[in-house]
Amino acid sequence: MNNTIILQLIKYINYDDFINMLKINKRTRSILLNNIEYCDNEIIDQKCNETYKIIKIDNQIKKICDSCFENSNLKNVDLCNVAILGKDCFRNSCKLKNINLHYVVSIDDSCFENCHKLKNVDLDSIINIPNNCFAKCYNLKTILLSNNTQSIGDQAFYYCKKLESIDIPQNMIMMGSRCFESCSNLKKITIPKCILLKGCFMNCENLEEANISASIIPNDCFMNCVKLNKLVILNVEVIGENAFYKCRNLKIINSNVKILLNSCFAHCHKLETIILPNVQIISKYSFMNCYSLNNINIPKNVALDDAFYGCNQDY
């Protein structure tokens, strides 16, 4: 293997020894770590990361520690039997295109944040996706989640602007704040019964369809989803503040929702029909500036309190 360092049958290698070895082998362009059980969290420094493009980590290494390959120029990484990736492990590795995560079961925060050239990730073995894990991976197009995935952390896929689709598994328990914010190429989403946090899909400007089984849609959840035109929320009980603010292509809302909070559908300019037979509370400005409203089905005893402020008709 030309210009390759092969490290094998070593239980541990520390930072100083590794750097000295690289100084001796100045022509090295790739590294094979074989049968090493543990890598120091400073095993590759900034200078090394500017040099090496391909790393294969083989056999006995089970854990790569925090920031180990942060700011690297790596293009291809084969993790083989690695099970645990630390915080910021490949963060800012802007040239990383391919990584094998087949045996990885645990990833820490911001592990692949700003990996701009990463296109596809298979997370079939990951149960919990942490905060900022793939944030600002601009070219990420496809994500495969495990059927057993239970949580997606805050801003986990923030600004993955080429992401085309995502299948949320039925076993999902919680989706974190702004987890898919500004995923501008996402067109359809189906959300099972789970806990949603603030702003999950805000600014997904090309999202057209949302089918939601969660009982609560939190504040700002679909704010500025300007192309959203099909919304299925039959079993939702509470819709939070600004949840569908400026969803300008919505035309009909048909739901058994009980509580609408402030400005939840404000500035939905094409909204024509609302059918809310079980609603109990409609908060201030819920339908503010919904100019096209002409068909409203709500219980007569519900207080409105400027809920329809700015609409063309008095309610």
Q: With a cut of 70, which residues of the chain have pLDDT below it?
A: 1-54, 56-59, 314-315
The strands making up 76-78's β-sheet, listed across from edge to edge, are 4-8, 30-34, 54-58, 76-78, 98-100
Distances (CA, A) of 274 to 19, 112, 160, 287: 67, 42, 33, 10
pLDDT at 1: 43
Q: What are phi and psi of 76, to 5 degrees?
A: -135, 135
pLDDT at res. 17: 54
Task: Report the pLDDT value the prediction gives residue 41, as an integer from 0 to 100.
Answer: 38
Q: Give the CA distances from residue 245 to residues 115, 185, 235, 289, in Å, rounded to whole numbers and listed in that order.
A: 31, 19, 20, 11
What is the enclosing helix (H) or strand (E) of 273?
A: strand 273-275
Please give the structure tokens belonging to residue 282: 């409609």
CB 125 within 8 A of CB 145: no
Is 183 within 8 Å of 199 (Cβ atoms)? no
Dist. CA 142–CA 165, nearest whole Å: 7
- Tokens standing for 18? 């590794």
Cα 81 from Cα 61, distance rounded (Å): 7
**Per-residue b/e over 228-265, b at no fewer than 16 CB within 10 Å?**
bbebebeebbbbbbbbbbbbbebeebebebebbbbbbb
Q: Which residues pair with 27 in a beta bridge?
A: none
CA 287/CA 254 separation, integer angstroms: 14
User: CA 67, CA 3: separation in Å to the nearest integer?
Assistant: 25
